[in-house]
Amino acid sequence: MANVKIQGTGQVLTTDFKDVRWVGQTKDGKNVTIELTNAINMGNINWTFAEKDDVVPQIVFTAAYTNTNAHISDTTEPWSITYDDATSAGAGEIILGAGVFYIGDAAIALTRGGGSFDVARTFRQINADDDMGPVKDRVVITESVATLTMNVLSMLTNAINYYPAIETVS
């Protein structure tokens, strides 16, 4: 049997941007899906080895915009959350930590220690003289960065899916 070798390419390619999603459930069994479009893992390869323990790297995918002009009319952010319309308020809407991590349509990873979803936004107030604080219709979003973080248990055969600028060579 031949060995598989993975090495860095030094170049981020268009194919390094992937659609990723996490599919889980609420406490009452309804589906919840978090999706990032054109996402890339800009983190480093960081594998911690410990005696009698598995390597569980943290993979952080960040959604990327496809437009380069912040002043265009389409300001849709590259993330979404979808949940079953039968979800009820209260305990039934609590999201459980277990789920499946996908890249494209392929289920990619088992997870250990869960993960997280974060949308970090920067708001700017457009101030005028004598404003006492934020004014309705004069608050704008200047930045929105969505990340999906997974602690993955399986990694070797999927390393080229997790990390940009690497390739498998023979």
pLDDT in tens, 94-104: 888 778 888 88
How does DSSP classify residue 73? S
How far apart are the two ends of the chain, measured CA to CA in Å? 12
pLDDT in tens, 9-67: 999 999 999 999 998 888 888 889 999 999 999 988 878 777 777 777 888 999 999 87
d(CA 64, CA 39): 6
- What type of residue sits at position 3? N
Residue 162 has pLDDT above 90, yes or no: no
User: pTM for the full model?
Assistant: 0.83
For 68-110, strand residue ranges (E) read: 79-83, 95-103, 106-109
> What are φ and ψ of residue 89, in 5° steps?
-65, 155
Which domains are delineated in the chain?
A: 13-120+146-160 (2.40.10)
Which residue(s) pair with 81 in the sheet? 34
Q: How many CB atoms lie within 10 A of CB 58?
A: 15
pLDDT of residue 79: 95
